Amino acid sequence: MSAECSSYLNADKVLVSGFSCPRAGGDARAVFCCGFQDVKYCCDDPHSFFPYEHSYMWWLSVGALVGLSIAAVVLFAFIITVCVLCYLFISTKPRSKLDPGLSLQMA
């Protein structure tokens, strides 16, 4: 089994000629064409070719970083709110014991 990686323009806009997988001197299990439109290589996973440019993954990483940052800020705000509410609950309790009323005595 083998696959053909077609020619492509890399990120520097240089034409890279097509090649067959597995490549000579490479891993014999790497029989699939993998990568992106502008970066192609041979690998052993048939589902590792993405019809996007390689910079697409960089934007996904930035999106994940922004999402995680927003989640961290929300979590931090939640923790601060809980701490403030606990402090207010504890600090507004009466300091002295309430009068229980009549004292019980043994006869």
> Could you state, in order of their start, the residue ranges of all structural domains in the chain?
4-43, 53-91
Side chain identity at residue 18, one-letter code: G
**How confident is the model at residue 30, as a pLDDT?**
87
Higher pLDDT, 72 or 10: 72
With a CB cutoff of 8 Å and minimum separation 6, the contacts of 28 are 22
Exposed, middle or buried by CB within 10 Å (0-12, 13-18, 19+), for 36?
buried
Higher pLDDT, 21 or 55: 21
Strand locations in 1-107 (E): 3-5, 8-9, 15-16, 19-21, 32-35, 40-43
Q: What value does the mean pLDDT take over residues 17-46?
A: 86
Confidence category of residue 35, pLDDT binned at 50, 70, 90:
confident
pTM equals 0.46
Radius of gyration (C-alpha) of the chain in whole angstroms? 33
Q: What are the tens digits of pLDDT across the range 57-88? A: 666 677 788 889 999 999 999 999 999 999 99
